[in-house]
Structure 1
Amino acid sequence: MEPVTEREIRASFVNCTKGEAKRLSVPGDLATRPWDDLDFLGWRDPASPQRAYLVTPSGDGLVGVALRLAAPHAGRPRRTMCSLCLTTHQGGGVSLMTARKTGREGQQGNSVGVYLCADLACSLYLRGKKDAGPGARLHESLTSAEKADRTAAKLAAFLARVTG
């Protein structure tokens, strides 16, 4: 992913108003992000832990979506798999995140969900730049580039559900 600016990030959001995009918390460390290793930019809102944001390159520029985290599952901790990068995490390492749909459906309160790494570091997990612990990554015969392509395709399918 190419480096992006705060202005580009705010302009990319498709499922919130311009006012909401203007008020959302943008990461302060954009200059130090490992852009070459990122397929998308994802972050959690430090002021509101139940909010997360995701911005990804698209054919038309950038597409950003505001996400809400579902309430954590009560009960015995178990290992859960991220839908994008296929990394498994113990306990709360994976969260159900929902995005309000765009257009009329979003205005009616409709949303779509996906299970994602709670820290949104999927790109780093699939490249081995971040470790989720023993047994978190299953052995695959795919190259890193093929894994990144698979993750990008899964993300594009999710975004199509948000915008479609």
Structure 2
Amino acid sequence: MLPLTAASIRSSFVNASRKEVSVAGLPEDLEARDWDALDYFGWHDPKFAKRAYVVLPAPDGTPIGILLRQADASPQRRQICEWCRDARLINEVVFFSARRVGESGRRGNTVGTLVCRNFQCSWVVRTDPPVPYDGFDMAADRERRIERLQQRVAGFADMLVTGR
């Protein structure tokens, strides 16, 4: 992922009002992030308990910022994150919804998904599981996991923007 600044993050939002963007709480450690190890950038707003944000890379490389709202209730059973699909690590998974872009979003339509509470999917897909058998190509498997994460994140952004 390309390095982000506060200005590039604020200008990337596609489903938030100007007021929501102006009051969004941004992380203070943007310069210290390892952007090469991130497939998307997500964080919780320190000012609003149920609000979170993700910035996803678009196919052309420009960032797409999305305002998320965390559900009030937690899933009753252990769930799997829809983005990293990891079943090995015990991550808290929560339901986030995002207002659709454009007229559909203004009418109140949303898209929802289950995601790791602390947006650690990039770390999860780069953490190797135990080797299932001798000769297993762990590097190729890791690359497949990273590619699938990127595809799922891009699919979520596409569904939000295009309505498909």
When normalised by structure 1's length, the TM-score is 0.85
Identity of aligned residues (%): 34
Corresponding residue for 1:159? 157
Number of residue pairs matched by the alignment: 155
Separation in 2, partners of 1:30, 1:68: 22
Separation in 1, partners of 2:95, 2:127: 23
Secondary structure at 2:20 match in 1: helix
Corresponding residue for 2:124? 125
* Runs of 4+, deviation exceeding 6 Å: 137-141
Separation in 1, partners of 2:42, 2:66: 10
- Superposition RMSD in Å: 2.3
Conserved 8 A contact 2:53-2:68: yes
Secondary structure at 2:13 match in 1: coil
Structure 1 unaligned segments of length 5 or more: list them.
Answer: 130-134
* Residues 5 and 79 of structure 1, relative CA distance in 2, 3 Å threshold: same
Structure 2 unaligned segments of length 5 or more: list them.
Answer: none
- Please show how residues 51-62 of structure 1 align to structure 2 within 5 Å: 51-60=51-60, 61-62=62-63
Conserved 8 A contact 2:52-2:69: yes
* Residues 156 and 74 of structure 1, relative CA distance in 2, 3 Å threshold: closer
Corresponding residue for 1:132? none
Separation in 2, partners of 1:59, 1:80: 29
Alpha-carbon shift at residue 56 of structure 1 (Å): 1.4
Superimposed CA distance per residue, residues 104-147 of structure 1 (whole angstroms, 9 cap, x where no aligned partner) = 00000000001100001110111129xxxxx9x99696522221
More strand by share: 1
Read off the aligned partner of 2:109 and give its amino acid letter: N
Superimposed CA distance per residue, residues 57-78 of structure 1 (whole angstroms, 9 cap, x where no aligned partner) = 1134110100001122375xx3
Read off the aligned partner of 2:121 and give its amino acid letter: C
Conserved 8 A contact 2:58-2:64: yes
Read off the aligned partner of 1:110 and give its amino acid letter: N
Corresponding residue for 2:99? 100
